[in-house]
């Protein structure tokens, strides 16, 4: 099953131009017909979803360096507060979105594990430090653990009762310190 999925991802979902895996479109017979793109032909999956094969690859993912570069670039997924879910370079990026324009710690856990598998411990430490600094400031100032952080302001947003979403961040803190 894993070999079949890897073959399908590489054959039908990899977008060399963007360096992300895309959403595969199918015809009525379920045969792949290409990737979901905007009217300009740009991949509409430039974010976490488009690099998750890095997590599944356990340090052996195809295109590993290219996928890692999206995590490390401040014009893409890296922000002062952690990782944003959608590349800031994507034409559909929005600071007003819920998923799009937010920093989500549970995903940082999965990408953090992948960073360890890829020998990127130093970058992981930098990433966790960014996240912890912002999260600690929000917890101190607002006395809540929010569902996500808004990239526009660095403030916690949405539900304060979803503290479980910050558990991965607390686990990194425990592991590192």
44-72 per-position pLDDT tens digit: 999 999 999 999 887 788 899 999 999 99
88-100 per-position pLDDT tens digit: 999 999 998 888 8
Q: What is the DSSP string of 83-139?
A: EBSB-TTSTT--TT-SSTTEE-HHHHHHHHHHHHHTT-HHHHHHHHHHHHHHHHHHH
Band the pLDDT of 24: cuts 50, 70, 90. very high
Band the pLDDT of 108: cuts 50, 70, 90. confident
111-155 per-position pLDDT tens digit: 988 999 999 999 999 999 998 898 888 888 888 877 788 888 888
Residue of 40, 41, 9, 6 whose CA lies nearest to 23: 9
- Flag the least confident range among 4-13, 37-46, 73-82, 154-163: 154-163
CA distance 136 to 146: 11
pLDDT at position 164, please? Answer: 67
- Flag the least confident range among 19-33, 61-75, 143-157, 160-174: 160-174
CA distance 106 to 93: 20
Residue of 97, 101, 98 whose CA lies nearest to 87: 101
């Amino acid at each position: 099953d894993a070999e079949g999925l890897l073959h399908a991802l590489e054959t039908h979902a990899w977008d060399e131009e963007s360096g992300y895996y895309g959403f595969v479109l199918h015809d009525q017979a379920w045969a792949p017909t290409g990737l979901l793109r905007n009217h300009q032909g740009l991949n509409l999956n430039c974010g976490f979803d488009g690099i998750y094969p890095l997590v599944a690859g356990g340090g052996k993912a195809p295109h590993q360096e290219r996928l890692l570069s999206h995590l490390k670039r401040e014009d893409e997924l890296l922000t002062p507060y952690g990782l944003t879910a959608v590349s800031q370079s994507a034409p559909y990026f929005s600071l007003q979105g819920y998923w799009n324009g937010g920093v989500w710690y549970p995903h940082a856990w999965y990408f953090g594990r992948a960073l360890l598998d890829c020998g990127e411990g130093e970058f992981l430490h930098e990433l966790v430090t960014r996240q912890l600094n912002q999260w600690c400031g929000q917890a101190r100032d607002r006395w809540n653990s929010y569902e996500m952080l808004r990239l526009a302001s660095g403030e916690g947003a949405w539900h304060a009762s979803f503290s479980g979403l910050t558990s991965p961040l607390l686990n990194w803190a425990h592991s590192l310190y």
